[in-house]
Amino acid sequence: MIFRSYHSADHLQRLSYWFSPPPFQIGNLLMLQMLKSKRIVWVMYLAAKVFQLLHQDPQIQSSVVAEHIGWIDKLEPKFTTTSCNNPSLDDIGERLMVHLTLASLKFNLIDLASGYQLLRNSLPKFLQLAAADTTLLIERRDGSAVVSFPHALSASRYELRRFTVIEAVSAFLLGVPPLLEYGYDGECDSENNGFEWIYGVPVVILQIISQVNSYRAGGRVALEDWKALEARVMVWKPQYLVTEGASAAKSVDENRAAVLEGWRHVALIYIYMGMCGASSHDSRIQASVDQIIELGKAIGSSRIGIHTLPHCVVVGVAARLEKHRIAVYEQLRSIKDTRIWLFPGLQFGEVLYHLWHGVGLGGAPVTWDDYVQSRCAVISI
């Protein structure tokens, strides 16, 4: 009971840091689903306790992290594996959720490579659940199957949606091939996804980014060409609109709108650099860099700023001016110990520092492949 009360309080506190509060009934339903599982409650309690200790006394960070890494390593095999030959889908889903929560802990407590390894370890559970859902698997003419990205993002099981978002963003920001092959027929249902509320990631834009991931990995599925993706980004309209009313509420709405508009330019830069092979000196890329910088100024020191980590990474790759690089580096270093966004920013800052003092020295042009090479040099995955 203490664990459940502690977890409920922690969950409510974290809700205040979400990009946008979800409708009460949805947020409440999500919390109730988590509280049904003793394993998930245990893991969430561990996470809440660790970060509470870190915030109380940053000086004990190394000892707290070292102590709880052991707990994470013990809980992973205990809570994510089963000796049952025919586990139920609910049991598989619960273990997948635990796996993803432990991965999030490792992303934030240890490093990106450790978290990504746990994400990769969770793939078989995702595939087991996907195989049981006829809307998720798309049969190809050669008899093979791919996972429908739009349907995965709107799956009835929250853990499937969560895996898909984390996997797509990991492939994008870490420059790794997707863990599985996706199909992209159909539209994403942003209303039933929920991750725009949590992370401020527009699902329409995420689908486009995932197509660029697939292109870079040499995927065999049919993809839209870069001009079609560019056109979709250009005409996309964020669903979050600035409301009329009190100035404080309007200011928050404007900050959220700025984050979403920034995603438009994040996607454009990734299309130009990731698909077209353009360098950071391309005029289209620099125009988007300028737009994201201006949007960042509008957001300022608002807590909404933690949702701009992808914006900072992409601007950091393409930035020519030292003042822009410094601003990005400082913002990334400030995104830490939050568990709100998918990853902390510190290691991405180290990757960009390597890029800026290597190929990009003095504002020289860089490519997306240069960024991936710097990531490989700093973070071994």
Neighbours of 243 (CB within 10 A): 11
Tokens 């070292």 label which residue?
Answer: 66
For the chain, give the percent of residues with pLDDT over 70.
78
pLDDT of residue 70: 76
Higher pLDDT, 180 or 42: 180
CA angle 149, 11, 29 (to 5 degrees): 60
- Closest among 179, 206, 229, 162 to 310, alpha carbons compared: 206
Question: For the CA atoms of the chain, what is the radius of gyration?
Answer: 20
Question: Residue 188: what pLDDT?
Answer: 73
Residue 134, pLDDT score: 86
For residues 11 and 22, what is the distance between their CA atoms, to the nearest angstrom?
13
The three-point CA angle 41-75-168 to 5° equals 80
- Mean predicted lDDT score pLDDT of the chain: 84
pLDDT of residue 300: 77
pLDDT in tens, 1-49: 444 444 445 455 555 566 666 665 555 556 666 666 777 787 777 777 7
- Residue 360 has a CB neighbour count (10 Å cut-off) of 24
Q: Which residues pair with 146 in a beta bridge?
A: 138
Q: What pLDDT, on a 0 to 100 scale, did the predictor assign at position 313?
A: 98
Query: Per-residue confidence at 340, pLDDT binned at 50, 70, 90?
Result: low
pLDDT digit string, tens, across residues 159-176: 999 999 999 999 999 999
Task: Report the C-alpha gap between 356 and 325 in whole angstroms.
Answer: 8
Q: In what order do the strands lie in the sheet with 137-139?
A: 137-139, 145-148, 182-183
Q: At CA 248, angle to CA 245 and CA 249, rounded to 5?
A: 55
Is residue 332's pLDDT more than 80? yes
All residues at 6 or more sequence positions from 37 whose CB lies less than 8 Å from its CB, including other chains:
94, 97, 98
Considering only CA atoms, which of 122, 173, 162 is closest in space to residue 332? 173
pLDDT digits (tens, 9 = 90+) for 208-243: 999 999 999 998 888 899 999 999 999 998 865 544
Q: Which residue in the block uniquely carries the two structure tokens 């620099």?
A: 286
pTM equals 0.88
Instruction: Give, for 15, the enclosing helix (H) or strand (E).
Output: helix 2-15
Instruction: Say which DSSP state 308 is in.
Output: G
Q: Are 200 and 20 in contact (CB under 8 A)?
A: yes
Task: Give start and end residues of each alpha helix (H) in 110-202.
Answer: 112-121, 123-131, 149-153, 158-174, 195-199
Q: Which pLDDT band holds residue 151 (cuts at 50, 70, 90)?
A: very high
